[in-house]
């Protein structure tokens, strides 16, 4: 089993190699380049529903092929960096519009646009040393969610209660798993667990970070008095899971300082997620993973200006 | 007749020279520096209504004079680059508030602010190799549209139909022309045709790009099931027209690859426009040409990272 | 009394030194590094209400301590640059949620996040030569305001009248003072006057700029026909006050050209503020000082591209 960071050189388009790139594209949603992680993630998608699985594979393939056709960087291609935004965008589309030939065409075009935006984000953000993360997905899926509403905008978002929210043990368990599952729009607890296993096969640190991010998000959301049913669905925590993986296990070297720094970021991502959901409510939009993207960008941008072990020096990746 | 790109050196403020700068300022709305294009555009504005014509000239003059007084780059001034945002802003104001002395004062101040924002956009975007496009206009007109609402926010935006939209031949013709006319807030078919002629006198490629952009936008909007009356008014297509001119005829060298790239961008601009309109609905705002600006920025930023003829190397302009 | 720009080197954590940093942190809200200004500002906060005073001190202390613990730049720390965003954020939180232990914990965490975002803003904006201003505060307070709504979103914002608004002499006086007071969420006229005195003890130019900014904002808001009660509360003018201080007294050298430039910026900030308030209405958010931040950024970014005395060369600060 190759290490998460190890990357094979492009070896033409042998089927095995193509399959590996495809799986890596799905694994990169959780910032991993391991095909084994991608395999677990694919299983989790199909555990959610066959539609999500098929569209996830379709989107990852479409944006990877588009990037290859447009002549994007072959090294990023081999790492799966051209697949994850297309994968997520395609899933976001099928979840909202349902499976059909029209949806499939839309998903493919959207995934192709993702690959162009990925190149743009890489160039614009590369100058300031920040990764693109899932920004292309958020932009494309966000525009489509508002452009193609499926129902009139819902009523006003719920007002937090004055006190803290309390959850039963079952709700806590569901919230823990769904915080991970919602990264892929999955809301069944076992899908979240399979995703966590997938992270684990590539990196123990990333799996611990994901689990801690989920716990921190639940505690923060409860302390804020956010509604219990939405906490249980994982709607406030998926950004914290990704923030924790990005800061504690991917872009910074893990030290006690970094762990605290990532915890602070995970805490901050929860009100940010709640705010973005409420802000998007009138137009029927969704924050998708924007709160993860923006929180991670800001905490990574701040890191070199701070002088503590692990924070000030970014990981040579 | 000078070529579109040819630029006279400032020759003091002789009336003929001043008139030429004024016309170029209006031509630059469609990324052209030809005074002949500007003349056709002015005729189209007056064909729309005398108010639009007068305010268009007023706005272009006000922002050009302000830029000269503030000491902005004289080369850009001579090319008309200080006029187009003021022109569009002034038209946006009169269309919304109606003609009056108060409107005229507001239009002049707004045009002056446009010239400052044009300088800011030039400096901030110049670093990353992107043009300002109509961003100053969008910012000023967007703020004023929300700050000075003329009526309570309309009801929720229409929900797209499940199937594709079909248009009659007459509707198709109107949509084709209005997609071009709406660049200047014009919604009469002959105004759109005069604008297209104006583009044609400076550059055949730009005229073909504008026409193709309009057709692509209609096809995309119909495929998305957007409402027929709004497609016919040109409300989903004016950004695609500008995107096509910018990518296929202005900033990239035309090749089959660029043509496909520009088509993809024009397609992407349609849901982006629909989304921005829906997003702005609750506050009474309007996307103006933001979708054109952002789509063009992203596709231009991505271009050097892609390795295909015409896309990877930006036109030496 | 030290001049506004004079900065003591960190001398360990002697109580007098700590108190000076704390006062400077509050003074930096109005871009001053004078502890005397901070003392007047603190008095004004307590004149508003003891809660605002206590939370203002708490927030400034929390973000300064967090910045010190995280190893931020000690020179900025000594100037109070790590305090002002925490101070404002903490006040924004107590004004909205009322004082309680839970509010205090939230205010401290928010202030800590402010210090991280301050480091991020410093690095990202430093590259393009722009100051962070109150952007970290606006981001944190803005997210919390939407995430923790205290009431359902209000009705649609008021529509401006067709003519100009007229104010009585008493309303004019209140509007003048409240435009300054609202920088700190204060709406009692004497609190605004104490703040103005605080600016005056450090810099006469800054005090004149603040006063002129307030007058310009009232004239602009009345000319726009904005509602009299909101003008009197200072809700359209606090950004103009800050814009005037920033452009005429802090970042540019004062010349007749700069004075005109700052006036134009102050005028522009008023519709921008009105627009941002209307835009945020559906989600229950608030613009806070975003209009000041964005207007100042754009006018500062444009300055080097313009060739007039005082505007083209930024003050060596």
Write the DSSP assignment of chain B as a string of letters. ---TT--PPPBTB-HHHHHHHHHHHHHGGGT---HHHHHHHHHHHHHH-HHHHHHHHHHHHHHHHHHHHTT--HHHHHTTTTTHHHHHHHHHHHHHH-SSHHHHHHHHHHHHHHHHHHHHHHHHHHTTT---TTHHHHHHHHHHHHHS-SS---SPPPPPPSS-----HHHHHHHHHHHHHGGGT--SHHHHHHHHHHHHHH-HHHHHHHHHHHHHHHHHHHHTT--HHHHHTTTTTHHHHHHHIIIIIIIB---HHHHHHHHHHHHHHHHHHHHHHHHHGGGT---TTHHHHHHHHHHHHHGGGS-STTTSSB---
Q: How many Å lie between the alpha carbon of C70 and the closest alpha carbon of chain A? A: 6
d(CA C286, CA C149): 11
* Contacting B residues, span 29-58, partner chain A, CB-CB under 8 Å: none
- Residues C89-119 have pLDDT tens digits of 999 999 999 999 999 999 999 999 999 999 9
- Residue of B275, B281, B285, B299 to mutate, interface with A, max A Cβ within 10 Å: B275
pLDDT at C280: 87
Q: How many Å lie between the alpha carbon of A18 and the closest alpha carbon of chain B? A: 21
Chain A hits for C112, Cβ within 8 Å? 264
- Residue of C71, C143, C157, C278 to mutate, interface with A, max A Cβ within 10 Å: C143
Cβ of B159 within 8 Å of Cβ of A149? The answer is yes
Percent of chain C topping pLDDT 70: 91
d(CA B114, CA A149): 34
Q: How far is CA B155 from CA A201, B280, B287, in A?
A: 51, 12, 17
d(CA A109, CA A86): 10
> Is residue B10 less than 8 Å (CB to CB) from chain C?
no
- Residue of C298, C299, C314 to mutate, interface with B, max B Cβ within 10 Å: C298
d(CA C25, CA C32): 9
> Is residue B222 less than 8 Å (CB to CB) from chain A?
no
> From the list B119, B127, B147, which residue is nearest C271 (CB)?
B147
Helix axes B204-223, B169-181, angle to 10 degrees: 120
Higher pLDDT, B310 or A247: A247
For residue B265, what are its two tokens?
A: 């961008």
Of C36, C16, C20, C86, nearest in space to C199 by CA: C36
Cβ of B307 within 8 Å of Cβ of A71? The answer is yes
Chain A hits for B159, Cβ within 8 Å? 149-152
DSSP per position, C45-86: HHHH-HHHHHHHHHHHHHHHHHHHHTT--HHHHHHTTTTHHH
| pTM score | 0.93
For chain A, which chains pass the contact test of at least 3 CB pairs under 8 Å? B, C
For residue B149, what are its two tokens?
A: 């609402």
Higher pLDDT, C247 or A151: C247
Cβ of B298 within 8 Å of Cβ of A116? The answer is yes
Place of tokens 């694994």: A27
Count chain A–chain C contacts defined by CB atoms under 8 A.
Answer: 90
Place of tokens 């100037």: C79
Chain A hits for B264, Cβ within 8 Å? 109, 112-113, 116
> From the list C159, C267, C302, which residue is nearest B109 (CB)?
C267
DSSP code for A153: -
Cβ of A271 within 8 Å of Cβ of C120? The answer is no
> Is residue C155 less than 8 Å (CB to CB) from chain A?
no
Tens of each residue's pLDDT in chain B, 317 residues = 334 444 444 455 688 899 999 999 999 999 999 999 999 999 999 999 999 999 999 999 999 999 999 999 999 999 999 999 999 999 999 999 999 999 999 999 999 999 999 999 999 999 999 999 999 999 999 999 999 877 655 555 667 777 889 999 999 999 999 999 999 999 999 999 999 999 999 999 999 999 999 999 999 999 999 999 999 999 999 999 999 999 999 999 999 999 999 999 999 999 999 999 999 888 888 999 999 999 999 999 999 999 888 887 554 33
Q: Residue A69, class by beta-carbon neighbours within 10 Å (0-12 exposed, 13-18 middle, 19+ buried)? A: middle
- Find out whether A100 and A130 touch, Cβ atoms under 8 Å: no
> Is residue C199 less than 8 Å (CB to CB) from chain A?
no
pLDDT at C126: 92
For residue C150, what are its two tokens?
A: 């205290």
For residue B132, what are its two tokens?
A: 């300002």
The contacts of residue C166 (CB under 8 Å, 6+ apart) are C222, C228
> Is residue A308 less than 8 Å (CB to CB) from chain C?
yes
pLDDT at B10: 47
- Residues C29-47 have pLDDT tens digits of 999 999 999 999 999 999 9
Chain B hits for A116, Cβ within 8 Å? 261, 264-265, 298-299, 302, 306
Diameter of chain B measured on Cα atoms: 60
CA B280 to chain centre: 19
| ipTM of the complex model | 0.91
pLDDT at A150: 74
pLDDT at A260: 96
pLDDT at A60: 97
Chain A hits for B272, Cβ within 8 Å? 143, 147
> From the list C275, C279, C305, which residue is nearest B73 (CB)?
C305
> Is residue B142 less than 8 Å (CB to CB) from chain C?
yes
- Find out whether B247 and B310 touch, Cβ atoms under 8 Å: no
Q: How many Å lie between the alpha carbon of C49 and the closest alpha carbon of chain A? A: 23
Cβ of C146 within 8 Å of Cβ of A275? The answer is yes
> Is residue A267 less than 8 Å (CB to CB) from chain C?
yes
d(CA C180, CA C213): 9
> Is residue A153 less than 8 Å (CB to CB) from chain B?
yes
Q: What pairs with residue B314 in β-bridges?
A: B252
Chain C hits for B120, Cβ within 8 Å? 297-299, 301-302, 305
For residue C272, what are its two tokens?
A: 């921008």
For residue C204, the tally of other CB atoms under 10 A from its CB is 11
Q: How far is CA A178 from CA A30, A217, A218, B302, C179, in A?
A: 15, 11, 11, 35, 47
- Say whether pLDDT at A285 is over 90: no
Cα dihedral C279/C283/C288/C294 (nearest 10): -40
Per-residue burial over C85-95, b if 16 or more Cβ lie within 10 Å, else e, is bbbbbbbbbbb
Cβ of B271 within 8 Å of Cβ of A117? The answer is no
Q: How far is CA B283 from CA B155, C157, C180, C267, C272, in A?
A: 11, 9, 27, 22, 13
- Residues A113-156 have pLDDT tens digits of 999 999 999 999 999 999 999 999 999 999 999 998 776 555 55
For residue B101, what are its two tokens?
A: 């002395």
d(CA C135, CA B216): 40
Q: How far is CA B140 from CA A87, A258, B290, C81, C151, in A?
A: 37, 42, 12, 31, 31
Chain A hits for B306, Cβ within 8 Å? 70-72, 116, 119
**Alpha helix locations (H) across A130-232?**
135-147, 169-181, 189-202, 204-223, 228-232
Of C151, C17, C24, C29, nearest in space to C90 by CA: C29
For residue C106, what are its two tokens?
A: 């939230």
Q: How confident is the model at residue A309 (pLDDT cuts 50, 70, 90)?
A: confident
For residue C15, the tally of other CB atoms under 10 A from its CB is 7
Chain B hits for C275, Cβ within 8 Å? 142-147, 285
Q: Residue C151, class by beta-carbon neighbours within 10 Å (0-12 exposed, 13-18 middle, 19+ buried)? A: exposed
d(CA C259, CA C274): 23
Higher pLDDT, A292 or C151: A292
Cβ of A123 within 8 Å of Cβ of B275? The answer is no
Return phi, psi of residue C298, to 5°.
-65, -40
- Say whether pLDDT at A184 is over 80: yes
For chain C, which chains pass the contact test of at least 3 CB pairs under 8 Å? A, B
Return phi, psi of residue B88, to 5°.
-65, -40
Higher pLDDT, C281 or B9: C281
Place of tokens 């008139």: B19
Return phi, psi of residue C252, to 5°.
-115, 155
> Is residue C275 less than 8 Å (CB to CB) from chain B?
yes
- Residues C161-184 have pLDDT tens digits of 778 899 999 999 999 999 999 999
Q: Residue C175, class by beta-carbon neighbours within 10 Å (0-12 exposed, 13-18 middle, 19+ buried)? A: buried
Count chain B–chain C contacts defined by CB atoms under 8 A.
Answer: 90
> Is residue A123 less than 8 Å (CB to CB) from chain B?
yes
Instruction: Say how many CA atoms lie within 13 Å of A87 toward its Cβ.
Output: 29
Cβ of A275 within 8 Å of Cβ of C122? The answer is no
For residue A227, what are its two tokens?
A: 């509604």
């Amino acid at each position: 089993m190759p290490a998460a960071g190890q990357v094979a050189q492009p070896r033409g388009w042998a089927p095995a190699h193509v399959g590996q790139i495809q799986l890596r594209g799905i694994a990169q949603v959780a910032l991993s380049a391991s095909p084994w992680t991608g395999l677990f993630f694919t299983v989790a998608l199909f555990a959610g529903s066959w539609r999500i699985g098929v569209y996830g594979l379709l989107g990852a393939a479409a944006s990877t092929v588009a990037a290859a056709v447009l002549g994007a960087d072959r090294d990023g291609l081999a790492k799966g960096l051209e697949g994850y935004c297309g994968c997520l965008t395609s899933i976001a589309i099928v979840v909202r519009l349902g499976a059909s030939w029209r949806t499939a065409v839309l998903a493919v075009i959207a995934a192709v646009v993702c690959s162009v935006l990925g190149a743009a984000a890489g160039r614009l953000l590369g100058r300031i040393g920040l990764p693109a993360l899932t920004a292309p997905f958020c932009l494309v899926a966000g525009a489509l969610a508002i452009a193609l509403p499926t129902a009139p905008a819902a009523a006003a978002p719920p007002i937090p209660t004055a006190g803290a929210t309390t959850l039963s043990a079952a709700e806590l368990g569901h919230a823990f798993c769904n915080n991970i599952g919602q990264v892929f729009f999955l809301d069944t607890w076992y899908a979240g667990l399979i995703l966590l296993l997938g992270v684990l096969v590539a990196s123990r640190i990333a799996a611990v970070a994901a689990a801690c991010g989920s716990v921190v998000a639940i505690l923060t959301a409860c302390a804020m008095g956010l509604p219990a049913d939405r906490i249980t669905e994982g709607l406030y925590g998926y950004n914290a899971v990704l923030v924790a993986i990005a800061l504690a296990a991917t872009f910074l070297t893990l030290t006690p300082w970094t762990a605290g720094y990532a915890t602070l970021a995970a805490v901050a991502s929860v009100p940010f997620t709640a705010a973005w959901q409420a802000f998007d409510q009138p137009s029927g939009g969704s924050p998708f993973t924007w709160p993860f993207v923006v929180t991670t960008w800001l905490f990574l941008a701040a890191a070199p200006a701070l002088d503590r072990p692990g924070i000030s020096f970014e990981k040579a990746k």
